[in-house]
Amino acid sequence: MLHPKSDVDRLYLPRSKGGRGMIQLELSYKTSTIGLYNYLDNTEDWMLQLVNRHENSKRLHSVTKESDKFSRELDLEIEINNLLSPTEIARKTKKKAKHEGLKQLESRWQEKPLHGQFAARANNADVDTQATHQWLRNPGLKAETEGFILGSTGSKFCFTRNYQANVLHNGADPKCRFCDERIETIDHLVSGCSILTPGEYKNRHDRVGQYLHWKICNRFSIKTQSDWYKHHPEPVTEGKDVTILWDFPIQTDRTIQANRPDIVIKDRKNNQCFLIDMRVKVKVKVMNQTPGAEKKNYVDINNDQPEDRFLRRQDYVAPQVWNLSVDVRAKDSLIAGDETSMSD
Ligand SMILES: [Zn+2]
């Protein structure tokens, strides 16, 4: 069901940019026309040169005029390299036109006050755009499910009670159907409801941790299951030069509240220790948060460790997975298993 005033603009973008991979026919027509004009204008075939001359002399709907118009619309600056063949010139110009066209579609999407919020957020410097849109490349989901997820995150359309009460005005109570305390928005359901915290949210958090633990075990060549979802982290996993703790309290000399990071990696070979505490959040909370707030929780543990212990240095990593976006640091330091960023 569409709202009578809903946005009917159709912006088709590639999956790598957060779209659904369909072709924008209008843009396709424009880039083809520009490509055709550039081919005709540079061809050495005498018959095609005649066609070009005929197109140039037409008053209306000529390839030349349309190509000019579309190039202006796309802010396309065409530099002709005479060393290239007409086919290469046409292909290169078409590619450039497509690039400019997609850039315009992307910015039109981001400028939308409601529908563009997710697109704008996903393009921020702290978000790994490629990892964020990775799921769209091979989702294994039915088209309807994929559309529903994209609709919920991108355009905030979901049949929540808040939507029913404040958009459809059907007299529904906007309060959350589970906790009956807060307004039932998507953000509230995704990670703000007190009733869903112990079950749904904890399960989701543990599943993310399960993947990280599996990835870390693989990185340190510890034998694991072939698939991450079959992997069940043990409280203590021993490798050749490494001990990995999962949800395991760290013994400290004095009482410290935050002494239970999700994962601890004691790397004896490099004499390092990593405390990993991860969160699954909605973007609103991340944006409102003071940078480094979680790190403070673990400063006490760092200070508590006497220098003569085998750990020379400890580091703290806080991967954050938001609703459908991935923190750059999470990917760089853990998911990719990059050697340098782990030891930095
Ligand atoms: Zn609730």
Q: What is the pLDDT of residue 288?
A: 39
Ion ligand 1 residues within 5 Å by Cβ: 176, 178-179, 193
For ligand 1, the distance from its centroid to the CA atom of residue 115, given in whole angstroms, is 24
DSSP letter string over 258-324?
Answer: ----SEEEEETTTTEEEEE--EEE-HHHHHHSPTTHHHHHTHHHHHHS-TTSS-SEEEEE--EEETT
For ligand 1, the distance from its centroid to the CA atom of residue 160, given in whole angstroms, is 11
Which DSSP state fits 145?
A: H
For ligand 1, the distance from its centroid to the CA atom of residue 329, given in whole angstroms, is 30
For ligand 1, the distance from its centroid to the CA atom of residue 287, given in whole angstroms, is 21
For ligand 1, the distance from its centroid to the CA atom of residue 135, given in whole angstroms, is 27
For ligand 1, the distance from its centroid to the CA atom of residue 162, given in whole angstroms, is 12
For ligand 1, the distance from its centroid to the CA atom of residue 150, given in whole angstroms, is 22
For ligand 1, the distance from its centroid to the CA atom of residue 98, given in whole angstroms, is 45
* Structure tokens belonging to residue 174: 């906007």
* Structure tokens belonging to residue 281: 């959040």
Q: What is the pLDDT of residue 230?
A: 92
For ligand 1, the distance from its centroid to the CA atom of residue 93, given in whole angstroms, is 53
For ligand 1, the distance from its centroid to the CA atom of residue 289, given in whole angstroms, is 21
Pairing of strands 263-267, 320-322: unpaired
CA distance 154 to 191: 17
pLDDT in tens, the chain (344 residues): 566 777 777 888 888 888 888 888 999 999 999 999 999 999 999 999 999 999 999 888 899 999 999 999 998 887 777 788 889 999 999 999 999 999 998 888 888 877 777 777 777 777 777 777 888 887 678 888 888 777 776 655 678 888 888 878 888 899 999 999 999 988 788 888 999 989 988 898 888 889 989 999 998 899 999 999 999 999 999 988 899 999 888 777 777 666 778 888 888 888 888 888 877 765 543 343 444 444 455 555 555 444 333 333 445 555 555 444 444 444 444 333 333 333 32
Q: What is the pLDDT of residue 342?
A: 34
CA distance 289 to 265: 26
Q: What is the pLDDT of residue 317?
A: 54
For ligand 1, the distance from its centroid to the CA atom of residue 201, given in whole angstroms, is 12
For ligand 1, the distance from its centroid to the CA atom of residue 131, given in whole angstroms, is 29
